[in-house]
Structure 1
Amino acid sequence: MSDERRSEAERLIEENEGARAYAEFLRGFYDRLGDEPLETASGRVDKFVNGLFQKEEESVVSLRPFRPPREARPTILAAETSTKESRLPSNERRFSVLATLGAETEDLVVRALKDEDTRQGRLYVLSESPEKRAHALVSFPKFGLDLVTDEEGLCTFELPAEVDLEQWAGAQAVVRRPVAMRAVGPGEKVTMNLPTGDTLLGRREGETLEVVLEPYGPEETASHLTITTPNRSARLFRLGASSLLERGISPEAPLLLRVYE
């Protein structure tokens, strides 16, 4: 900076209170920066990414049978029903509630319904936040049932024949949200560094996708993977150290991977 510009800056700082406050801020900032130890670019990136995930909502949420408070908001308790005309008599309800589950740590409700018309189940993840509804993995461990919702938080599924109404009423579940997402193009190789510390490696060749999980520690913390292609529901796989193969993929179709803890 020239002597003339420096003099102008000093005069502005003396005369203008706002400029003086900003100058003091910059001086303090650079003083603290000089006191900090040198760090590699990768270290700064890691800290930044970790900070982002620390501010996120929990990626795994436990659910228990839900009893709504008297003043519960209707938007939390309502599950949409199909607009298609039912073949049942008009005096019968098409949908019966199998289970209503709630989270203790956040505003989240899951409802499982039985469609008496189609004899199938419907699962709704209900929250005022779209991010909490979309692409959620809802697991009922005692039923061996894992369900993935669509963009709107809905999933249609086959009801397990061995589970009765009493078991549904006392059901507990776990909701998982994606911790990482990656689009994979034709012929592309994939390296996903997961916030769990694990690394997901993949390779797409022709109609085949091969995926392997490299755990960070002695046990894998990433548990599930979904593969989504256009006009098809997400396909769910359990992750492990062994390779996972998905065949029959259109070679030109876009592919989206989502990883869950």
Structure 2
Amino acid sequence: MRTHWCGSSSHPLFEEPPALQAAVTVTPARIPELLLGLATVRPVFIWGAPGIGKSSLVRAFAESLGLECVSLLGTQLAPEDLIGVPQIREGRSVFCPPEAIARDEPYCLFLDELNAATPGIPRAGRYFPPEEIARCTFGVVLDTSGSMDRVLLGKALGAIASYAEARDVPAARVVFCDAAPHDAGYLPVTEIAGRVRVHGRGGTVLQPGIDLLHRADDFPPGAPVLIITDGWCDALRVRREHAYLILRGARLPFSARGPVFRVS
């Protein structure tokens, strides 16, 4: 028999319960001790095979404390059986809980077969968070200055899409650069071409775009960076795995530490 409760307890049966959703397996003989330690301060959900006497144990527990056991059957519950029905008081609606459960004296409320209640009735259950799947990504620093060759841009963007599709990369972290960096965030690789705008604002400064990726909290420290330029740019310092994509015959104005790929 498995029992769930919400929150923590100082009861000796349940020292250091697991976080968030606590559960413990007990025998029917230990149910009264469990209820005495927990049910007086918080709700308890008892879960076990049918026919083992769960209902009788709860009623016996209430009787041992001199409390009336008010039993509501989950299969016959409607939401208004718990929250009541609205009434108009001074121009406002107020929910009036049913007399059977709205009492001044202590009692034991037993919601029997709660897991069989209609969807409108809250009940205990397990939450399975969606599984997070690790996906690869890479950064793209793209030269969009006025001197950038349109042919190189088109071929480079096609190469990015092919590379990403072959490695199941859904999106890349993109920074467009001319005289200043323009952070485009994560873009599906097939949409990068549609976002490119050649600004032509005089000069090409790529280092601020690379620094932006280095500082970005949402860009993995181990992700590589692809730098696409025509070679008319500043000297670059890249502190992670990286590569360059330039036109055939063009040269970088510095000694590249990463591989240099050329397109024609």
**Normalised-by-shorter TM-score class:** under 0.3
Q: Going by fraction, where is strand more abundant, 1 or 2?
A: 1
Normalized against structure 1, the TM-score is what?
Answer: 0.21
